[in-house]
Structure 1
Amino acid sequence: MTDKVFPMTAEGKVKLEEELENLKLVKRPEVIERIKIARSYGDLSENSEYESAKDEQSVVETRIKQIEEMLKFAQVVDASTVSADEVSVGKKVTFTELGEDDPEEYIIVGSAESDPLAGKISNESPIAQSLLGKKEGQTVTITTPGGSFDVLINKVEVVQ
């Protein structure tokens, strides 16, 4: 990872801290115990339990390093310090594609908190990149790998 800034909401930072604590205090000891048990079975060259536990250990340790890096360079964004009608990290934006009737609604979060299925999109996504800094009532062209389309920003609000 690079020495980049990881913008995130206060809620997102707390969730990462909780995940890190769970990985260190629960998952890591569980995996270490699985490795110990698998070792007791003898020949490690044909021991699938051992291989599986070592693979899981690698995943857990990688995730711990990843979260530690994100938290080290976390920048908690306070959306309430940005103009109320301006799109920023930590705000919910509702927009309608021109020519369509159904509005779309997304919460813009840092990449560490992104969860598109829950309506949370990364500030680095093409949609968020096009919307950031824009204001309620503006028409914006969103450019994605699948093409471009114009939207009208209907509403911008701070997420509580």
Structure 2
Amino acid sequence: MEAERFLNYKEEFFMMLRFRKMMAVLLAAALTLTMLTACGGGGSGRGKAVNEKVELTKSVNEALKKDKYRVSLNYNAELDDVASNYHINDVGNTNADWKNKKLDREMFRVDIPEVEKADSASKIAKEIEPTLTNMKDYEWSIGYYVEPKENNKKEVVSREITIILEWKEVTK
């Protein structure tokens, strides 16, 4: 009888080990699948927004080239935060107030109706053109903050884009 109990105990012990191993493999598989499904790139949408702003910057550069400007703008994501902070905190200030602070930056605002969204690059280029004309020997960076404007029906009717231009003198 003792031998039979020992064999039953031994058999239960090995079944428990197999069960634990099987559960560990299933848990690892479940964790791997949840990790992979979380990497869809959606998240906060910042990645998508950055890609859209890089494309917008390329389009603005193309619009400037059509007007025979040899200036090339580089998108800078850090300037997005500057534009956001300026838009939210200092809405009442003007460019003159900002220029008095002796920063190598300038802020612009462009309101683009939703129906003209496809033409936003040329509108931005037209707005920043005078600044670029006066200062040709500089490296330019640009950042954006986009604020959608809605009507009573919660439909986006226009987008107010706060644009920050930053420049550095090119050393020869």
* TM category, shorter: under 0.3
Q: TM-score, normalised by structure 1?
A: 0.24
Is the radius of gyration larger for structure 1 or structure 2? 2
Higher helix share: 2
